[in-house]
Amino acid sequence: MEPNLSSRLTKIMIKVEGLSKRYARNVAVDDISFEVNKGQIVGFLGPNGAGKTTTMRILTCFMPPSAGKATVAGFDVMEQPFEVKKRIGYLPEVPPLYPEMEVGEYLHFVGKLKGIPKGDLAKRVKEVSEKVNVAEVSNKLIGKLSKGFRQRVGLAQAIIHNPDVLILDEPTAGLDPKQILETRQLIRSLAGDHTIILSTHILSEVEHSCERVIIISQGKLVAQDSVANLTNRLRGAESVSLEVEAADGRPNPTEVQGRLEQVAGVSRVMMKDSKDGRLTFEVESLQGRHIRAELARSVVNSGWNLSELRAVGLSLEDIFLQLTTAETKEVGGQK
């Protein structure tokens, strides 16, 4: 690779532009674009059937996209699949294991398949087995292993050629809580050297292991942000829905809005609805401020009636549900 190209590519490891995958009757992935920087762990979040696996399969050159472009480490998945494959480690949802092989034998086989030179092979197998803690079972048949060990062998298989990019499809699915913790730790320990994309439909997983989240639903990208931002937006700040009634039945929306905005700790006021002299507002607080009491006092002191005041759900789960259900409804409405 020429030097200026490589230096330009040091930052962005994965670049996806307008990626789509259509089957005969349905669209699995619809015009997705995102970028992943080197060394990041990105969580790929979405309900089952959202298109996570399809996107991953395109990135790993398992299947070609119907439209759009994807590059890994600067190589196009369509034009230079060989170069991409050399740089990607992939753990599919079901680890691709041969039950009739022994663990060590299997890792040797995969190592050769990934093009590791003969001289380094034994050393790499040993390193990787130790890293994922499968050295003790290296003489066992894969078919006899427990689910947790199989997952680890699957992970070993993905990192054996020390790839730049690791793509893990639901790496903790079906494991018990202790194994989940271990796997998360393992994944975190791999970050830095590797750029990691992991898919999951479990939110806490993303909070625990990822720096950035990409949320997709029904094949569309609905949000991408850093985990910190997202959780802050969703959990640290408070969002309150309140309904105001004027005594004379004719409240002035701008006046109410202005008054609400003056309340200490309020970051944003949005009018949602106005019906029968009732105004509905959604008010968001600044980081870590509790504004409900202040809001109520302010409304009542101004001579209006406060007919409803409630906190809008703010867990990551809620936002996730909002993003993955409401957005699609909107899109459907636009069509």
Q: By CB under 8 A, is residue 100 in contact with another protein?
A: yes
Is residue 49 involved in binding another protein (CB under 8 A)? no
User: Which CB, 9 or 121, lies closer to another protein?
Assistant: 121
Strand residue runs (E) in the chain: 12-22, 27-37, 41-45, 67-72, 75-76, 88-91, 165-169, 195-200, 212-217, 220-226, 239-246, 266-275, 278-285, 304-311
**How far is C-alpha 72 from the geometric centre of its chain's CA atoms?**
18
The correct pick among 55, 71, 151, 157 for binding another protein (CB under 8 A) is 157
The encoded tokens of residue 330 equal 């909107």
Binding of residue 199 to another protein (CB under 8 A): no
Choose which of 1, 67, 113, 326 interacts with another protein (CB under 8 A).
113
Q: What six digits make up the tokens of 226?
A: 């850093």
Coil vs helix vs strand at 156: helix
Does 88 bind another protein (CB under 8 A)? Our answer is yes
Q: Which runs of E-coded beta strand occur in 2-133?
A: 12-22, 27-37, 41-45, 67-72, 75-76, 88-91
Binder among 10, 67, 79, 94 for another protein (CB under 8 A): 94
Shortest Å distance, C-beta 66 to another protein:
9
152 belongs to the binding site for another protein (CB under 8 A): no
Closest separation between CB of residue 105 and another protein, Å? 8
Q: Which of 27, 62, 193, 236 binds another protein (CB under 8 A)?
A: 62
Comparing CB distances to another protein, the nearer of 107 and 266 is 107
Q: Is 42 exposed, middle or buried (0-12, 13-18, 19+ CB in 10 A)?
A: buried
Nearest residue (CB) to another protein, 21 versus 220: 21
Under rule CB under 8 A, residue 22 binds another protein: no
For 81, 82, 179, the CA distances from 209, given in Å and listed in that order, are 29, 30, 14
Binding positions for another protein, rule: CB under 8 A: 23, 57, 60-64, 82, 85-86, 88, 90, 92-101, 109-110, 112-115, 157
